Amino acid sequence: MKVGRLARQLREIWEVPRDLVLGRYPAFVTGGPLQKGEIPVFVFHSLEPVSFERKLRHLRDNGYRTLGADEYLEALTGTRPFPDRGVVLSFDDGRGSLWGVGAPLLRRHGMCGVVFLVPARVRSRPGPLPPNWDDVLGQRAPAREVLEREAGEGALLSWEEIEALSRKGTLEFQSHTLSHARIHTAPRLAGFMSPAGRHPYRALDVPWIRDGTRDLWAHEVPLGTPLLESAPRTSESLRFLEDTRIRAAPVSRVGAEGGEAFFARAGWEKRLWRMLAGCAIDGRFETPDERETALRREFQLGRDLIQERTGRRVTHLCYPWHTAGPTARRLAEEAGYRTAFCGKLRGVPITPVNGDPLAVARIGEDYVERLPGRGRASLASVLREKWRRRLAALP
């Protein structure tokens, strides 16, 4: 897991200059105008008040208007007049800082956003709702209480927060599939379950582990469990269901040597790898019918749960890890989704008017301040901040 995260971070750092050279970013990123018929869709994850408010201020001061998902679709398909300087602010995963930072700052600037929620990972937390940035500014709560919530149990929004935000209308909630799942795809070892994988964000990177007839959530997976090569559930890959006997030795070793304490010792990963060196990993691949059943559940039940809790229709989808195979794309459309949001798309920096609504291109939040207007940030300053964050996140 640690090696995999490091490889992904380094790959993402390299992808930025490569994609700039290859012209895979919209023209406005490198200093050009926002072309007629372009509505940039930005993607955010965790939010920090200073940088987020700075981006919103840039939009407000330069006459940009934020669109909801239905408004965006209508503009894209030409069923409503094309908005001048329209943008979409999308937020993946439903992270806790949407309550503490996102919603109050969006309200202050008269803007809206689209949240792609993972309903199977949402928990209920009854009781008083937590403080937000308005409470900090009004000296009713310490900043630390808001800024540090994502480090613990408040990493994701609760159902109570989602329902309250939905009623206010600043944020709308759409589907990021039911569980944002990964699956094993080959009998090749990739790492081991460690305590770090139990944090709500890191848990998104932990592949499903089958235990009898059910799949375990990351916090249920025994420490030391072998994790195999994996891919998003929405990819075209067939799931590999490994023989559970491969788990016995490493899980037993971790348990015998202190559980979580085992991972505090240097070299723990090498020790577990040596235990399985040369061991064949037996199992079977799921059938195409089993893959289709699993994907239907991700699309349909994810939609139904959000609709039930918010009382609002869910017809917009975002693919986890921006990944969708032909089967997922077909089943998403059959499930009634009218749009499907991705990441960078080959040859499509921004999805144009009359473009494919089931393959919507998005761009990272870093480039909001590269939109034309007063106070436009330099590309160099944007990239410095982007790389600083990426490097800080390296293990």
**Of 102, 83, 52, 69, the residue nearest 312 (C-alpha):** 69
Give me the domains of the chain, ranges plus CATH numbers. Answer: 2-178+317-392 (3.20.20.370), 182-232+244-280 (no CATH)
What's the pLDDT at 18?
73
pLDDT at 75: 94
The answer to whether 334 and 312 have CB atoms below 8 angstroms apart is: no
Determine the pLDDT at residue 145: 95
d(CA 190, CA 227): 6
pLDDT for residue 22: 65
Neighbours of 193 (CB within 10 A): 26
Helix ranges, the chain (H): 2-21, 49-61, 69-77, 97, 103-108, 133-137, 143-147, 159-168, 248-256, 268-276, 288-310, 326-334, 379-392
Residues lower than pLDDT 70 in the chain: 1-15, 21-23, 390-395
What is the per-residue pLDDT for 142? 97
Residue 63's region, left for phi above 0, alpha for psi from -120 to 50, else beta, is left
What integer pLDDT is reported at residue 8 of this predicted model?
Answer: 57
Position 7 scores a pLDDT of 55
HSE at residue 153, side-chain half, CA atoms within 13 A, is 5
* pLDDT of the residue at 393: 58
**Cα angle for residues 312, 204, 237 (degrees, 5° grid):** 95
| pLDDT at residue 95, rounded to an integer | 97
DSSP code string of 114-172: EEEE-GGG-B---SSPPP-HHHHHTTSS-HHHHHTGGGTGGGB-BHHHHHHHHHH-SEE
pLDDT value at residue 390? 66
Neighbours of 179 (CB within 10 A): 21
Give the tens place of pLDDT for each residue, 10-29: 566 566 777 776 667 899 99
Looking at residue 12, what is its pLDDT?
60
